[in-house]
Chain A
């Protein structure tokens, strides 16, 4: 199974230029005509963070130091996933005119969306670093430089796997795109975006980490806010689940993609 996937990835390398063009198309068309441009990729989560801070900081009164930044460190990776997923679920159907007329590796469409969102994510991370500096948190740059790229890689793979799965399923179940909103809402609360994982009761902790986003977000937070290398078990869970989801999503996609052109 992973053999066919290696082949597919090798095949994709011939289409890297197209992947780049499609990704550029996403990025350019999203911010064309808006004055703030790429800055939106940061403004969006910041506005969302403000809402969450008001609700959970002032009303529910979760007591955490630097709560806004704490939220933001979870919100940025979360929004990477949620935007990628909600956009790419429809990506096969949205590109039906192309898929029906040219032979292309079809995974390029969800991939290009994930990559476009990755670029956004990296941009917003750099704005986030500026904020961290302003608030004078002790940034451990050497740790970040070492671990952030690895973490980014696995997050991207995870996103890609989920997006492949959903974009493929959506061809067969068209109402899935409506469900995605609900799934994402539930998933948001099941992930440690605005609360720390120590608030989860101990006996449920194993169950809690069935959600791969839990360990991924936790790793980001440890790294960015606390400047710590995340505990090994969380790193392993994050990496393993990313790889498993990627292979699973990709193989489902490859198995059913031949039917796409006839169904869309």
Chain B
């Protein structure tokens, strides 16, 4: 095992039997025995083939891929719920699974009783649970309903309670399987913050999700799994990009759409208003290829922030990332912001005809911490100017010469 890794997966293979119909009754066994008919063994599939990876201590690793490529199987293997067919997994630390929220709740028991039960299932000790029970209840925002049997809860309340218990687990490694797609927007934000907090406490997290933005935002490293094999490992943006490039366009729109989160950030600086202007100072959302675009960001800073970085990004409506830049890239240094103001970005765009989405953001200087990020919240339209045909997303003014 490498010095720094907490989970090490070596040559992992996993085979499943595809059971067409449950062959698991005594009746069937007896009939088969009496009729001396040998049923052909059920077909087998390798869901995971030769998987090798490691997770470093304190790292957050994302696993992405389409449905049925074995993401959850990997988590189950790490959690020791199922055994590998071949290969081994070394783990040096305690593990919990943030289960699909609410498994293990008993409808007849009250919220409080279920906290204890669910806490025990997740391996929280009783003493520890007594210490954090009030925090859990507070976090779940269910103070008034905590002594009511959970069968009277709405599904949203159910999820909130479940996540709150899981959020207070204190193990070295936390396995998260697509649990963040629940609850309303504000509770989702809260869950994200909590995961962020866990990460800062030095917990190791393995995160399986279809929400690519969440993966990009939270993970340090991403594994892209394709039909049971690791296709690519690396920096989130890079892996996500190759993943998106590989799936066909219809799926892509779905993936992008389902994983869009519109706004996040810590809001020390807020972008209050975004407006687009053309070259003669009119506000508009329609431009021609080659027109300059004047993007005005109105911001308000709630305290003095040094070295903020404002940025923009342009996506085509099918999710392709066309362009992005920020004040740091363009060497435009803003020493600090204190109150409110307006920043303008002049984009000499050469986009071809189509619908486009605009994102704006403000980050701290090393671009690690978002103050406010408006993800694809604005759109604009590009019309053909004078070129008769368009090919591809952008137009470059070109000149042709005959040399010889």
Contact = CB atoms under 8 A, between A and B. Distances in A.
A63 interface: no
A98 B81 contact: no
Contacts of A101: 81, 97, 99-100, 103
A32 B117 contact: no
A175 B23 CA distance: 11
A129 interface: no
Most buried by A among B79, B80, B103, B125: B103
Interface residues of B, number: 34
A18 B81 contact: no
A176 interface: yes
B26 interface: yes
Given A17-B120, A25-B117, A173-B26, A258 B104 contact: no
Interface string A21-40: 11011001100110000000
Nearest to A100: B81
B109 A25 contact: yes
A179 interface: yes
B97 A104 contact: no
A20 B129 CA distance: 15
Given A18-B121, A101-B100, A258 B24 contact: no
B117 A172 contact: no
Contact of A261 (B82, B96, B126): B82
A99 interface: yes
A173 B104 contact: no
Interface string B5-26: 0000000000011000010111
Contacts of A263: 24
Contacts of A28: 108-109, 113
A98 B121 contact: yes
A174 B25 contact: yes
Given A18-B120, A175-B25, A102 B99 contact: yes
A261 B103 contact: no
Question: How would you classify the secondary structure of chain A's contact residues: helix, strand, loop or mixed?
Answer: helix
Contacts of B109: 25, 28-29
B104 A98 contact: yes
B27 interface: yes
Contacts of A24: 117
Given A17-B125, A179-B26, A29 B81 contact: no
Nearest to A29: B108
B120 A258 contact: no
A18 B123 CA distance: 8
A172 B24 contact: yes
Contacts of A231: none
A176 B26 contact: yes
A32 B110 CA distance: 11
Contacts of B29: 173
A171 interface: yes
Contacts, number: 80
Contacts of A21: 116-117, 120-121
A262 interface: yes
A29 B99 CA distance: 23
B122 interface: yes
A138 interface: no
Interface string B86-123: 00000000011101100110101100010011001111
Of A21, A32, A100, A179, the most chain B CB neighbours within 10 A belong to A21
B261 interface: no
A208 B326 CA distance: 88
B226 interface: no
A98 B103 contact: yes
Contact of A103 (B24, B95, B103): B95
A172 B95 CA distance: 29
A173 B82 contact: no
Contacts of A103: 79-81, 95, 97
A44 interface: no
B83 interface: yes
Contacts of B27: 175
Of the candidates A22, A24, A103, the one having the most CB atoms from chain B within 10 angstroms of its own CB is: A103
A102 B80 CA distance: 8
B54 interface: no
B252 interface: no
A6 interface: no
A97 B99 CA distance: 10
A99 to B, nearest CB: 7
Contacts of A22: 117, 120
Given A179-B26, A258-B82, A261-B82, 19 more contacts: A17-B125, A20-B120, A21-B121, A25-B113, A28-B109, A28-B113, A29-B106, A97-B104, A101-B103, A102-B104, A102-B122, A103-B79, A171-B24, A173-B26, A175-B25, A261-B76, A262-B16, A262-B17, A263-B24
Interface of A: 17-18, 20-22, 24-25, 28-29, 32-33, 97-104, 171-176, 179, 258, 261-263
The 10 closest A-B pairs by CB, nearest first: A18-B120, A173-B26, A101-B99, A21-B120, A29-B108, A175-B25, A103-B80, A97-B103, A21-B117, A261-B82
25 contacts: A18-B121, A21-B117, A21-B120, A32-B149, A98-B103, A100-B81, A101-B81, A101-B99, A101-B100, A101-B103, A102-B81, A102-B103, A102-B122, A103-B81, A103-B95, A173-B24, A173-B26, A173-B29, A175-B25, A175-B26, A179-B26, A258-B82, A258-B83, A261-B81, A263-B24
